[in-house]
Structure 1
Amino acid sequence: MSHPHEPVGEWWRDQVAALHRWGRLVLRDEEDSVHQMRVTVRRMRSVLATYRPFLDPEQTEPLRDELKWLGALLGDVRDAEVLRKRIRRWAAEHGPAPSGVDALRAALAERQAVGRARLLPELDGERYRTLVAALAATDGFPWSDGAPGRKGLRKRVRKSWRRLESAVEAAECAADPGERRLQLHEARKKAKRTRYAAESLREVFGKDAERLADATRSIQSTLGDLNDSVVTIRAIEELPERDDTLLQLLHTEMTAADDAEERFAPVWKKAKRSKVRGWLDQPTGKSK
């Protein structure tokens, strides 16, 4: 029997199809395929967590566990890939890479190769095929007793938003710069969850969900820039030796991290506007 919130099911079917498609492209080593597959996994894990009270745990908890396993495999490859591209761009702007940068790039290339060596057999293996089959078998979003109403759906997104608010508040209250960045990293994760929930509800809440998705995407992007710099800084600091060029790269990334933090404040201010998030507190039936 159809349900008025079947569009959520359509969104889910799109993600299942995308996962299968990107998996094939990863095996063919297509450009950006690891990134896109990882994003798809994150979307699916995120919405399963957001709507967890409305789902049958016997069916969905194993799916969450297996998606977490797959996401970790993809992350090992993608994280090294991101850093390699970032350092390649920097090296192109500063001439031929001297020995220190070469050493860092070689370490990252090795990390990426090891990750791919673990990932590819799994994507061609029984565990992954079983996961894809289980996801496809849900035939729409796996509600336990039919999709909840608008009020229930809005409540789950509101809870994700409030977790994001709490993470940002914790960052703003942090006295230590390192603690502030840890809290901003948490805020980034909360922004992603809110974004993916809003995206899944575009056909239910229309422009309201679109505005929230756009705002949280901007938060995710800005804090993603911060995270990329922080991870690059950590990779440089883990090297046993650092020459002048590596120290120059380190300084560049530290400056970029500071810049991303500064850019976050206006992005967050814009996201907090009533036009963006006010609909989350509306009584049922009042959303435009």
Structure 2
Amino acid sequence: MSHPHEPVGEWWRDQVAALHRWGRLVLRDEDDSVHQMRVTVRRLRSVLATYRPLLDTEQTEPLRAELKWLAALLGDVRDAEVLRKRLRQWSAEHGPGPSGVDALRAALTERQAVGRARLLPELDGERYRALTAALAAADGFPWSGSAPGKKKLRKRLRRDWRRLAAAVDAAERADTAVERRRQLHEVRKKAKRTRYTAESLREVFGKDAERLAEAARSIQSALGDLNDSAVMIRAIEDIPGRDDALREFLEAEEAAAKAAEEKFASVWKKANRSKVHGWLNP
């Protein structure tokens, strides 16, 4: 059990409380609630992975598995929300869409409806209640013993950062555009983990952790734009018999994906500075 004033334990309790709060708002269909609940689940999953060698894994591995299940349910709904928003923005600029855009709109609306039909009963079911009860039962972060000191915590964050940097190197060495995008997707995942770990350590490392979390967030944001375009491209390609308007939308998303890739280079250059991550070195 964590000490009541142990900083990471306090952060954990805040996230568990946020999960409860957002879950209630999702059931009420409040705006942005699915997105916020999904982010909270990601934070919990991410830190459980980062700190795994320091945790009571008999307790935390089942939590990770159940959080993964919940993340998948939320992801189905949230991805459809994002795509529908992108389509609305494009349609507002280009006027009412003909058959191809209408078909895409209908497909995305159905995708969101199906996702919500799966999600909502689960949020009111026994499996979700058991998960939230187990998360709360930890009463702070579920360390295997006493809370680790700064040295061990810094080591876990340093490992996340180095994995992020290695993923960027792999993307820069990619031989094809397809491989580069695949590697950049890995960069985005590593950036999220680095960000969430740094956020959990704000009370431990102060401004250093805040600066690193912000750098990782900027990477995540830039590559999130690329990911949204890539997912939309796949959704458009699934529509049979694309017409001129849908082909125009596809071209716009491909251009947006390319622009996001180009933007990432400058974002990474700014993030990969000694001022941001030099304090992690032993």
TM-score by shorter chain over 0.5: yes
1:1-288 alignment runs, 5 A limit: 3=3, 6-281=6-281, 283=282
Count of aligned pairs: 282
Are the aligned partners of 1:5 and 1:147 in contact in 2 as well (CA < 8 Å)?
Answer: no
Question: What is the CA–CA distance in structure 1 between the aligned matches of 2:241 and 2:87, rounded to whole Å?
Answer: 17
Q: Is the 8 A contact 2:100 2:239 kept in 1?
A: no
Q: Tell me which moved more, 214-223 or 236-245.
A: 236-245
CA deviation after TM superposition for structure 1 residue 5, in Å? 7.2
Code of the aligned partner of 1:269: K
Q: Match of 1:194, as an amino acid?
A: T
Give 1:255 deviation, angstroms.
0.6
> Which residue identity is paired with 1:133?
A
**CA distances 1:127-161 after superposition (whole Å, capped 9, x unpaired):** 00010001011111111102111110010011111
Q: For 2:153 and 2:124, locate their aligned partners in 1 and report how far apart those are by CA, in whole Å.
A: 36
Superimposed CA distance per residue, residues 47-67 of structure 1 (whole angstroms, 9 cap, x where no aligned partner) = 000000000111000000000
The CA distance in 2 between the partners of 1:99 and 1:23, in whole Å, is: 37
CA distance in structure 1 between the partners assigned to 2:143 and 2:8 by the alignment: 10
**Matched residues in 2 for 1:7 and 1:150: separation?**
11
Secondary structure of 1:256's match?
A: helix
Please report how far the alpha carbon of residue 240 of structure 1 lies from its aligned counterpart in structure 2 after TM superposition.
Answer: 1.3
Identity rate of aligned residues, in percent?
Answer: 80
How far, CA to CA, are the matches of 1:5 and 1:219 in structure 2?
A: 32
Q: Quick check: 1:5–1:204 contact (8 Å CA) kept in 2?
A: no
Instruction: Give the Å deviation of 1:228.
Output: 0.4
Contact 1:196 1:213 (C-alpha < 8 Å) held by counterparts: yes
CA distance in 1, matches of 2:98, 2:159: 49
**Contact 2:13–2:140, Cα closer than 8 Å, also in 1:** yes
SS at match of 1:227: helix
Structure 2: gaps of 5 or more residues: none
Structure 1: distance between partners of 2:271 and 2:280? 13
Matched residue type, 2:154: R
Normalised to the residue count of structure 1, the TM-score between the two structures is 0.96
Question: Contact between 1:195 and 1:213, CA under 8 Å: does it hold in 2?
Answer: yes
Q: 1:232-261, CA deviations, whole angstroms, 9 ceiling, x for partnerless residues?
A: 111111111100000100110011001000
Q: Distance in 2 between matches of 1:234 and 1:166?
A: 28
Alpha-carbon offset, residue 4 of structure 1 = 9.9
Indicate conservation of the 8 Å contact 2:3/2:9, yes or no: no
C-alpha contact (below 8 Å) 2:2/2:147 kept by paired residues: no
In 1, Cα distance between equivalents of 2:7 and 2:140: 9
Q: 5+ residue gaps in structure 1?
A: 284-288
Distance 1:174 1:238 in 2: 27
1:46 alignment partner AA: S
- 3-state SS of the aligned residue for 1:239? coil
Contact 2:2 2:141 in 1 (8 A): no
Q: CA RMSD in A?
A: 1.2
Amino acid at match of 2:110: E
What is the distance in 2 between the residues matched to 1:259 and 1:212? Answer: 24
